[in-house]
Amino acid sequence: MPGSLSDEILSSWQANSQSWITTIDQNEIISRQLATNDAIVTAIEQHNPSRVLDIGCGEGWLSRAIYAPHRFVIGIDGVEKLVSNATKKGGGPAYACFNYEDIRQGKLPSWEPFDLIVFNFALFEDRATFTLLNQLKQLLVPGGHLLIQTIALPAHEFSGWRTEYWRSMKTNYPAPFPWYYRERDEWKKDAQQNGWKIHRFTDVVHPENKQLLSWIIELQVAF
Ligand SMILES: C[S@@+](CC[C@H](N)C(=O)[O-])C[C@H]1O[C@@H](n2cnc3c(N)ncnc32)[C@H](O)[C@@H]1O
């Protein structure tokens, strides 16, 4: 999708990669510490998968968290600097550099199918998101699960493009990035229209004030 916002999103992650590594290394995002990290790890473990593909893995914390000697875990990301940081941190998983356009164009190696594919806060495109997800159907074993953790905003916020200026971060981020917010009903409608069935749709909330933080959407191929 040359020239589209997809390119801009990826370029901003390239520019922000060192800042992102610092943010994760210094545990700067409170909602991750309080709820969303545990929520996605628990959701994955409930499926007890043998083979996991972590897409948009960043510096690899989730791949490391779910890695076990009996489990094959590979993380991929479109930003070389994040992939090399993940590789340097080690801890068991494999890593490789591929971007979403590579996936849409069928350029992933012919890997054995996975029991579970996960995107943790890594989907920011509008229509291109489902072109990407549909291409992944062939990489899931029959009955396998696709898990997405994504930002949830209050019910009065509607789907549309927004810009993240990183104002709430302690670390300085050089590049703002555009991202598409998809409200709850649009996730459900788009999933169903694209041949996915919703296995579970979970609200992740702040443990004390119960503010909605994210959704974990668990999908399976419908047919
Ligand atoms: C908010 S970070 C999340 C990283 C990781 N999943 C985590 O939970 O810490 C979003 C990630 O999506 C990746 N990403 C965004 N657009 C991408 C694209 N078009 N192709 C590949 N990776 C992309 C970024 O490089 C970044 O690592």
Q: Is 116 in the pocket of ligand 1 (CB under 6 A)?
A: no
- pLDDT level of residue 6 (50, 70, 90 thresholds): confident
Cα of first residue to Cα of last residue in the chain, in angstroms, is: 27
Residue with tokens 């996936």: 103
- pLDDT level of residue 5 (50, 70, 90 thresholds): confident
- pLDDT level of residue 128 (50, 70, 90 thresholds): very high
What pLDDT is stored for residue 2 in this prediction?
43
pLDDT in tens, 147-163: 999 999 999 999 999 99
- For residue 58, the ligand 1 atom closest to its alpha carbon is 27
Q: Is 39 in the pocket of ligand 1 (CB under 6 A)?
A: no
Question: Can you list the positions of beta strands (E) in the chain?
Answer: 51-55, 72-77, 94-97, 114-120, 140-151, 160-164, 177-181, 196-205, 212-221
Q: Where are the domains of the chain?
A: 5-221
pLDDT in tens, 61-100: 999 999 999 999 999 999 999 999 999 999 999 999 999 9
What pLDDT is stored for residue 1 in this prediction?
43
What pLDDT is stored for residue 164 in this prediction?
97
Nearest-10 crossing angle of helices 5-15, 17-25:
60
Question: What's the fold here for domain 5-221?
Answer: Rossmann fold (3.40.50)
Averaged pLDDT of the chain: 96
Instruction: Give me ligand 1 centre to Cα 138, in Å.
Output: 21
Q: Is 61 in the pocket of ligand 1 (CB under 6 A)?
A: yes
CA distance 75 to 155: 32
Q: Is 129 in the pocket of ligand 1 (CB under 6 A)?
A: no
Q: Is 86 in the pocket of ligand 1 (CB under 6 A)?
A: no
